């Protein structure tokens, strides 16, 4: 049976699902699949499913040979992973997705940037990063819940954070800079899922380069028009 995945590499939850598939399973959104038309969604035979966390859980259980650390069979360990996944949607995702949309991506989607909504998103994002740093990353291991190997929660949360690559460098540094453990954890999750992690995030780095060029051009235009108004008129 072929597993069909409806996904978009620009979508954080989609990237988490694709990396997991590439990493773990060696198998090779339209309206009928997901009434919300969001990605990711999958079709496995007659079974249709959407919501990235539900998909990650399903894939971890439905196919043989998936290493236990991704979604442990142990009830207590699994329940802790559920706890991070539930927390994610109303905290890190809410903050990060809103901040990146309103500060950076809005014009590309035909919307106006919204500094107030961006500031509110940043507040939730920073509080979430603080909680990851001081609580979820506590313990001896390099991954969430003090684990020594990544779980589907590491994948989901790190994919969410990777979208910060597209925002202005100084804003990204301001937000991520104070969270050294978070930065190291992003790197560790990348290392643990190479080469798929880099392959799936290449689209973000392409967009990052394009946006940086645009910002530079805008800054140069501003300087040029400023100098012009300072020059004495010939009239
Ligand atoms: N809670 C969902 C979120 C899915 C989601 O927000 N998908 C976005 C892309 S990141 C989407 O498909 N947006 C298009 C739309 O809403 O029409 C999940 O984790 O799968």
Place of tokens 């198998």: 27
Encode the chain (235 residues) as per-residue pLDDT tens digits. 588 999 999 999 999 999 999 887 655 466 777 788 899 999 999 999 999 999 999 999 998 889 999 999 999 999 999 999 999 999 999 999 999 999 999 999 999 999 999 999 999 999 999 999 999 999 999 999 999 999 999 999 999 999 999 999 999 999 999 999 999 999 999 999 999 999 999 999 999 999 999 999 988 888 888 776 666 655 5
Distance CA 208, CA 165 (A): 6
Query: Which ligand 1 atom minimizes the distance to the CA of 97?
Result: 10
pTM score, two decimals? 0.92
Q: Which of 41, 46, 50 is nearest to 8 (CA)?
A: 41
Distance CA 149, CA 57 (A): 17
Query: How many C-alpha atoms does 140 have within 13 Å on its Cβ side?
Result: 1
Query: Which ligand 1 atom minimizes the distance to the CA of 29?
Result: 12
Q: Which residue's C-alpha comes closest to atom 15 of ligand 1?
A: 38
DSSP states of 107-125: GGGT----HHHHHHHHHHH
């Amino acid at each position: 049976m072929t597993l069909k995945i409806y996904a978009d590499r620009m979508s954080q939850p989609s990237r988490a699902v694709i990396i997991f598939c590439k990493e773990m399973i060696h198998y090779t959104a339209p309206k009928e699949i997901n009434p919300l038309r969001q990605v990711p969604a999958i079709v496995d035979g007659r079974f249709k499913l959407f919501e990235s966390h539900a998909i990650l859980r399903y894939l971890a259980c439905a196919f043989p040979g998936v290493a236990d650390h991704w979604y442990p069979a142990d009830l207590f360990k699994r329940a802790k992973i559920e706890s991070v996944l539930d927390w994610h949607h109303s905290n890190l995702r809410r903050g990060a997705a809103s901040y990146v949309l309103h500060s950076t991506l809005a014009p590309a989607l035909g919307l106006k940037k919204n500094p107030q909504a961006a500031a509110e998103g940043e507040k939730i994002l920073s509080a979430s990063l603080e909680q990851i740093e001081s609580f979820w990353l506590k313990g001896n291991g390099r991954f969430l819940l003090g684990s020594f190997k990544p779980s589907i929660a590491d994948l989901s949360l790190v994919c969410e954070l990777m979208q910060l690559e597209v925002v202005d460098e100084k804003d990204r540094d301001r937000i991520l800079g104070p969270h050294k453990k978070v930065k190291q954890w992003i790197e560790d999750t990348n290392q643990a899922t190479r080469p798929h992690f880099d392959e799936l995030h290449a689209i973000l780095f392409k967009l990052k380069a394009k946006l940086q060029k645009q910002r530079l051009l805008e800054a140069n235009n501003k300087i040029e028009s400023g100098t012009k108004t300072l020059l004495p008129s010939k009239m």
